[in-house]
Amino acid sequence: MGRKFLLTAFLILGSFFMYPPATAESPKQLTYIALGDSLTAGLGSSEENYLRIHGFVPQFTKYLRKDNTVKVENYGIPGLTSTGLLALLSGDEGLRNRLKTANIISISIGGNNFLQTVRSQPDPEEEQLDFNMQLLETSLKETYGMVREINPTATILLIGLYNPYPSGHPLHQLGKEYAPKFNAAVKKLASESTLFIDPYQEFVNKEVDLTHIEKDDIHPNDQGYRVIVALMKKAYEETQ
């Protein structure tokens, strides 16, 4: 009886070495840094306890936290232009150092460049739009190049533009021309680890439903931000 018990115990103990018990995989530690303008800041989304938790940064962070431990830093500055973002990165060594540790970086920029153009000239010439587009594209490339040099391995999500102006709005045609041109420039930067998020088509004929344009506010509402987040999640999941 004693020998049989010892043999059984030996076989059970041995099985632990041959087939160790399964353990749950530890959640990844991720750092997500968001750079950009008022979209990054979440303007237009509803507030809860004075926080814009329905913007794309909080919502994308919530998605990431389903399987990971996530530290998030939001550098969304309303009114920021592409040259302003470039200056921010060039002049803030602390931010550049924090970017080195990021696993995920999102960048939304370009909308204010467009607004500056149309607000300074009610009916801007095609040449002026093209010139401003070239300046935007140049500063965007420099910004992206700087971020990628600082952090060669992070997943970067570049957020494109939508046209907030519905058919019949005085600026509809300008938005229809400008946003696709900008998005085409951004798309050139896309790669395996640099994801281009293009919300343009999702907003076509839904401008009133997805933005506050009826109040002369181009920012997305909660539903509009959900559309952008859905595109971000889809693009990110395809890299995993």
* Side chain identity, residue 188: K
- Determine contact, residues 210/171, Cβ cutoff 8 Å: no
pLDDT for the residue numbered 19: 43
Q: Is residue 154 predicted with pLDDT exceeding 70?
A: yes
Please determine, for residue 160, whether its predicted confidence score (pLDDT) is greater than 90.
yes
3-state secondary structure of 186: helix
How large is the average pLDDT for residues 99-115? 95
User: Judging by beta carbons within 10 Å of its beta carbon (0-12, 13-18, 19+), is residue 170 exposed, middle or buried?
Assistant: exposed
Residue 3: per-residue pLDDT: 55
- The model scores a pTM over 0.75: yes
CA 88 from centroid of its chain's CA atoms: 18
Contact by Cβ (8 Å): 79, 112? yes
- What pLDDT score does 2 carry? 52
pLDDT digits 0-9 by tens, 60-86:
999 999 999 999 999 999 999 999 999
CA end-to-end distance (rounded Å), the chain: 55
Dihedral sign, Cα of residue 37, residue 39, residue 45, residue 47: negative
Task: Report the alpha-carbon distance of residue 125 to residue 139 in Å, rounded.
Answer: 22
Percentage of the chain lying above the pLDDT 70 cut: 88
pLDDT at residue number 229: 98
- pLDDT at residue 11 greater than cutoff 70: no
> CA 234, CA 230: separation in Å to the nearest integer?
6
Q: Are 140 and 79 in contact (CB under 8 A)?
A: no
d(Cα 100, Cα 22) in Å, to the nearest integer? 34
Distance from chain centroid for Cα 33:
9
Structure tokens at 144: 């992206």
Distance (Å, rounded) from C-alpha 161 to C-alpha 175? 9
Mapping DSSP to helix (H, G, I), strand (E, B) and coil, where does residue 202 land?
Answer: helix
Q: Is the pLDDT of residue 16 over 50?
A: no
Q: What's the whole-number mean pLDDT along residues 195-203? A: 98
Please provide residue 5's backbone torsions phi and psi, each rounded to the nearest 5 degrees.
-65, -45
pLDDT computed for residue 232 by the predictor: 98
- The closest of 78, 72, 79 to 101, measured between CA atoms, is 72
pLDDT of residue 20: 46
Mean pLDDT of 193-208: 98
Q: What is the pLDDT of residues 124-142, one digit of tens each?
A: 777 777 888 888 899 999 9
